[in-house]
């Protein structure tokens, strides 16, 4: 009898969001369109009850949950989120507009298995209103970064970046829209790279094998 060829296990994504959810929807659309073979979204979690992103998850019929963080200790809230992710057997956590720092314990629960997207070319302009910060600074090239998450804000090893030119005719909103379009491409590409597995993280450096 020929040896059985093992079927590759699907990559189970857990999405964390706090707001609009356009990055989540771009990932969901990439899966639907067959651009992320073997990847599935197994749970979408919001820390904000009225986040439009969680309503979108419900409309798509995806498993979803709200775990409100407001008024709770970070360690306790994070422990609940980790438990829910583990319950859904999540392999890869994608922060998609999740407006919270993760505790050390959360990061340790998914080593090199948590991604974030940030709308600047890190390490420039971490934190809030990154596009406005870049515009006000007068940079000529802006963009977005997908990085592995550590306990520091917008800080872990960089997986990929995409750039956009800053035009003379821009304002911060127009710039943010063009960056967002690149974010939607970048997140799918980053997930595909992690799912493909042909890489290692050497210190701060993500390197393809
Ligand atoms: C994006 O700009 C992302 O880079 C940042 O938060 C925003 C979330 O947007 N981390 P959305 O909720 O995915 O539309």
For residue 13, give the nearest of 56, 42, 47, 48 by alpha carbon.
Answer: 42
Which pLDDT score, from 0 to 100, does residue 5 have? 64
Q: Nearest C-alpha to atom 6 of ligand 1 is from which residue?
A: 97
Q: Nearest C-alpha to atom 7 of ligand 1 is from which residue?
A: 97
| Closest ligand 1 atom to Cα of 22 | 14
pLDDT above 80 (res 7)? no
> What's the pLDDT tens digit per position in 146-188?
999 999 999 999 999 999 999 999 999 999 999 999 999 999 9
| Closest ligand 1 atom to Cα of 18 | 12
pLDDT above 90 (res 113)? yes
Q: How many Å lie between the centroid of ligand 1 and the Cα of residue 180?
A: 8
pLDDT above 70 (res 1)? no
Question: In the sheet where 11-17 sits, what is the strand order?
Answer: 64-66, 39-46, 11-17, 92-95, 114-118, 141-148, 158-165, 205-208, 199-202
pLDDT above 80 (res 6)? no
Q: Which residues line ligand 1 at a C-beta cut-off of 6 Å?
A: 17, 19-23, 53, 96-97, 117-119, 180, 183
Q: How many Å lie between the centroid of ligand 1 and the Cα of residue 93?
A: 15
- For 196, the enclosing helix (H) or strand (E) is helix 172-196
Q: Return the axis-axis angle of helices 22-32 and 52-59, rounded to nearest 10°.
A: 20
The residue from 118, 147, 155, 184 that is catalytic is 118
For residue 115, give the nearest of 84, 82, 93 by alpha carbon.
Answer: 93
Supply the pTM of this predicted model. 0.95
Q: Nearest C-alpha to atom 2 of ligand 1 is from which residue?
A: 119
- Cα gap 41→63, rounded to integer Å: 8
| Closest ligand 1 atom to Cα of 118 | 4
Domains, the chain, ranges and CATH? 10-110 (3.40.50.170), 117-209 (3.40.50.170)
pLDDT above 90 (res 189)? yes
Q: Which residue has the higher pLDDT, 24 or 3?
A: 24
pLDDT above 60 (res 30)? yes
Q: How far is CA 145 from CA 23, 71, 158, 162, in A?
A: 13, 30, 7, 7
> What's the whole-number mean pLDDT along residues 102-126?
98
> What's the pLDDT tens digit per position in 37-88?
999 999 999 999 999 999 999 999 999 999 999 999 999 999 999 999 999 9
For the question of residue 155 being annotated catalytic, the response is: no
Percent of the chain with pLDDT over 90: 95
Q: How many Å lie between the centroid of ligand 1 and the Cα of residue 133?
A: 15
Q: How many Å lie between the centroid of ligand 1 and the Cα of residue 12?
A: 21
> What's the whole-number mean pLDDT along residues 131-152?
97
Q: How many Å lie between the centroid of ligand 1 and the Cα of residue 5?
A: 40
Compute CA 204 distance to the chain's CA centroid, rounded to the nearest angstrom: 18
Which pLDDT score, from 0 to 100, does residue 8 have? 64
Percent of the chain with pLDDT over 70: 96
pLDDT above 80 (res 139)? yes
Which pLDDT score, from 0 to 100, does residue 10 have? 87
Q: What is the dihedral of CA 51, 162, 115, 139, to 10 degrees?
A: -70
| Closest ligand 1 atom to Cα of 131 | 2
- Cα gap 160→51, rounded to integer Å: 27
pLDDT above 70 (res 28)? yes
What is the three-state SS of 105-159? Answer: HHHHHCCCCEEEEECCCCCCCCCCCHHHHHHHHCCCEEEEEEEECCCCCCCCCEE
Which pLDDT score, from 0 to 100, does residue 9 have? 72
Mean pLDDT of all residues in the chain? 96
């Amino acid at each position: 009898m020929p040896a059985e060829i093992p079927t590759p296990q699907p990559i189970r994504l857990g999405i964390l969001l706090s707001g609009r959810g356009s990055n989540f929807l771009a990932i969901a659309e990439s899966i639907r369109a067959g651009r992320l073979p073997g990847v599935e979204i197994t749970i979408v979690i919001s820390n904000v009850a009225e986040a439009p992103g969680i309503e979108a998850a419900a409309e798509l019929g995806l498993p979803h949950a709200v775990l409100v963080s407001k008024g709770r200790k970070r360690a306790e809230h994070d422990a609940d989120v980790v438990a829910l992710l583990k319950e859904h057997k999540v392999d890869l956590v994608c922060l998609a507009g999740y407006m919270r720092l993760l505790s050390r314990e959360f990061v340790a629960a998914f080593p090199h298995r948590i991604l974030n997207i940030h709308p600047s070319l890190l390490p420039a302009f971490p934190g809030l209103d990154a596009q406005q910060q870049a515009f006000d600074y007068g940079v000529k090239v802006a963009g977005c970064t997908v990085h592995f998450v550590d306990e520091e804000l917008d800080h872990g090893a960089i997986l990929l970046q995409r750039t956009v030119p800053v035009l003379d005719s821009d304002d911060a909103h127009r710039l943010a829209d063009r960056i967002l379009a690149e974010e939607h491409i970048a997140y799918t590409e980053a997930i595909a790279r992690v799912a493909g597995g042909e890489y290692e993280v050497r210190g701060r450096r993500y390197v393809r094998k």
